[in-house]
Chains A and B, each alone.
Chain A
Amino acid sequence: MNTLKKFLGLIWMVLGPLTMTFLFMQAIDKVGLTHTDLERTNTILQWAIILFIFLPISLGLMIFGFYAWKGEYDHLPESSDEL
C-alpha cells in the first residue's frame, strides 16, 4: 500500500499544473466568446476569481503529491503528540 501511495503521489503532482492550464485556457476561451464590454468584464471577473481561488488549491494538490511521494503518509499520526 505504501508503494501505491508513493506512485500516486506523482499523479497528484502532475494533476495540479494540468488543472491550472486547463482552467487558464478555458478562461481565455470563454472571455473570447463574449459579445459586449459588460459581458466581457463580468466573465473576466468570474474567471479571475476562479483562477485566484484554484491556484493555491492546485499548489496544495502538488504539495500533497510531493508529501505522498516522499512517504509522509505511510504512517498517519495517532495522537496530537505526533502533530
Chain B
Amino acid sequence: MSDNLPKNNIFKVIGASSLGTLIEWYDFYIFGSLAVIIGHQLFPGDAGASALINTLAIFAAGFIVRPFGALVFGRLGDLIGRKYTFLLTLVLMGGSTFFIGLIPSYKSIGYAAPILVLILRLIQGLALGGEYGGAATYVAEHAPKDKRGFFTSWIQTTATLGLFLSLGIIVITKNILGAETFGDWGWRIPFLLSIVLVVVSIYIRMKMHESPMFSKLKAEGNVSKNPLKESFNNKANFKMVLLALFGATMGQGVIWYTGQFYAQSFLENTCKLDFNDSRYILLWGIAFATPFFVVFGAWSDKVGRKWIMLSGMLLGILFYRPIYQMFLDDTDYTKIEQTDILSVTPAPVTSILIANSTDSLRTVSTKVMLRNGASFNKVQTDTVSATKGILLGKEVVKDKVLPKPVFWKFVGLIFFQILLVTMVYGPIAAFLVELFPTKIRYTSMSLPYHIGNGVFGGLVPFIATLIASFSGATPLSGLWYPIGIAALSLVIGAIYLSNKRDENIND
C-alpha cells in the first residue's frame, strides 16, 4: 500500500511528523538552556527542600521518565493508532511547555512554583518518550520499502534542529529585550511561543490519515489486545527488544550525547572556552553535519543499516581520546611566551564580604590578548582576613577565545563527532521499525530506543563527571564511559545483529 502512495503525500507525512518531533525537542531543550534563569525565578534562593525538587526536575525528567512514556504511549499507539497517540504526545508536550512559561515566580506563590515545574517536567519527559516511536513508525509505515531509511532519517534530524531552534529563539529574544529584562520575564517568551508552533503542528497532523498498515490491521480486527504483554512476555519478541537495546541503541545513545552535549560541556568547563566561542563551534559543527543524517539514512537502504551504525561506534571508540586531547592541547595557554602577548588589561579589583564573617573575597582579573588573535582572562580570588592577612587563591584562566585557525579546527573536530552521530542515528529508525511486527511495533521499538538514548546517553555527563572525580583521573578519563558502552554495543551488534533488511514490514 505504501509503495503506491503519491510522492507529494509522503512528503506531507514526513513534514507533519518531523515538525511535531522538532517542536517536542525544542520544548525539551529550552528548559535545559534556561535552567539557571528558571532556578532563580521559580526556586527559592536558600535551596532547602526545593533543591530536591530542582534535582528531580532537571536530573530525573531528562532520562528516567522517557522509558515510561515509551511504555504508556507505545501501548496506546498499538491499541488506538499512531496518529492520535502522537497527536496526544504533542498536546501534552506543548501544553506543559506553555504552562511552564505561565508559572508565577517563587516570590508570588512559594513552593507551589517548583512543584508545578516538577510536574510539568515529568509530563514533558513522558510525552517525549511517546513521540519518537509514533513519528518514526508513522513515517516508516508510509514509506516505500526501498526508501524507508531515507524517509525516516528526516525524523532523525529533528533532535538536532530542535536544539538549533531553541538556541536561536533564546538568542533573538535576549537580544531584543536585553539581558536584564530577559532574566526578569523575557525567558517566558520561548516557552509561551511554543503554543503557536504546537497549534500549527496539531492543525497539520489532524489533516493526516492513520498509517495504512495500522488501518489495515484495524480493518482486519488484528490489532493487539495487550501490546505490553505481546512485546515483553513473548520470548521471541523480547529477545529482539534486548538485542535492539544492547546491540544498537545503547551505543547510539552514548555516541549521540558525547558528540552533541559532552563536547560542548568539555569545551566550556574543562577547556574553559569563552561562552560564545563554545556555542558557535557547536552550532557550526551541527550545521555542516546535519545533512548527513539523510545521507546515511538513504545509504542504509542500499547497504543495510547494521554496518553503518557500527562503523559510527567504532570511529567514536578510536578517535574520542585523540580528539579531546587536541581540545586540551590547543587551549593550554600556560606555555605562552612573553613575546606572544600583545596586551594585558587589568580590570578593577572587586571585593565582597563573606556572609557572617569579617573576611572578604578579593578578585583580581586581567584580560590578556595574544598576537595570534587569541585572548583569555586570568582571575585570582584571594581571601582577605582581618586576623590571618591575605590568603592567596589559585589563579584561574578562563573565557578563552581561540585564534581563527584553531576555532575552525575545533569546528572540524565537532563536525566529525556529529558526523558519527549521523552514522549511528540516521538509519536507526528504519532499523527498529523493521525489527518488530506492525501490531506491537510502537511499543516494542520505543522502549529500547528510549533506554538507549535517555538512560545510557542521558547519563553521559553525570557518569563522565563521576569517573573524572576518581583518584588519579585525568580530564580525559570521563570518556571511558561512552567508549566502554559503545565498545560493548559494537561487539554485541557485530556478532548478534543481522545486516539483512526486512523488506516486508506489513505484517
What residues make up the interface of A, taking CB atoms closer than 8 Å to B? Answer: 1, 4-5, 8, 12, 26, 30, 38, 41-42, 45-46, 49-50, 52-54, 57, 60-61, 63-64, 67-68, 72-73, 76-83
CA distance A70 to B461 in the complex (A): 36
Task: State whether B240 touches A77 (Cβ < 8 A).
Answer: yes
Residues of B close to A80: CB separation below 8 A: 436-438, 507
At the interface, yes or no: B265 with Cβ under 8 Å from chain A? no
At the interface, yes or no: B445 with Cβ under 8 Å from chain A? no
- Interface segment among B50-58, B119-127, B204-212, B368-376: the answer is B50-58
Interchain CB contact (< 8 A) of A60 among B237, B245, B496: B245
Task: State whether B56 touches A73 (Cβ < 8 A).
Answer: no
Task: State whether A30 touches B498 (Cβ < 8 A).
Answer: no
Residues of A close to B495: CB separation below 8 A: 1, 4-5, 8
Summed over the interface, the residue pairs from A and B with CB atoms below 8 Å come to a total of: 77
What residues make up the interface of B, taking CB atoms closer than 8 Å to A? Answer: 47-48, 51-52, 55-56, 59-60, 63-64, 67, 234-237, 239-240, 242-243, 245-246, 436-438, 451, 455, 459, 462, 466, 491-492, 495-498, 500, 502, 504, 507
CA distance A73 to B236 in the complex (A): 10
The 29 sampled A-B contact pairs (Cβ below 8 Å) are: A1-B495, A4-B495, A5-B495, A5-B496, A8-B495, A30-B466, A38-B47, A38-B51, A42-B52, A45-B56, A46-B55, A52-B64, A53-B64, A53-B455, A54-B455, A60-B242, A64-B242, A67-B239, A72-B235, A72-B239, A76-B496, A77-B240, A78-B500, A79-B502, A79-B504, A80-B438, A81-B507, A83-B236, A83-B237
Residues of A close to B63: CB separation below 8 A: 53
Residues of B close to A77: CB separation below 8 A: 236, 240
Interchain CB contact (< 8 A) of A64 among B246, B466, B500, B507: B246
Task: State whether B243 touches A64 (Cβ < 8 A).
Answer: yes
Residues of A close to B491: CB separation below 8 A: 8
Q: How distant is B220 from chain A, measured CB to nearest CB, in Å?
A: 14
Q: How distant is A53 from chain B, measured CB to nearest CB, in Å?
A: 6
CA distance A39 to B347 in the complex (A): 35
Residues of B close to A54: CB separation below 8 A: 455
CA distance A28 to B32 in the complex (A): 29
Task: State whether B437 touches A49 (Cβ < 8 A).
Answer: no
Residues of B close to A5: CB separation below 8 A: 495-496
Q: How distant is B214 from chain A, measured CB to nearest CB, in Å?
A: 14
Task: State whether B240 touches A83 (Cβ < 8 A).
Answer: yes
Residues of A close to B239: CB separation below 8 A: 67, 72-73
Q: How distant is A46 from chain B, measured CB to nearest CB, in Å?
A: 6
CA distance A71 to B81 in the complex (A): 35
Q: How distant is A29 from chain B, measured CB to nearest CB, in Å?
A: 10
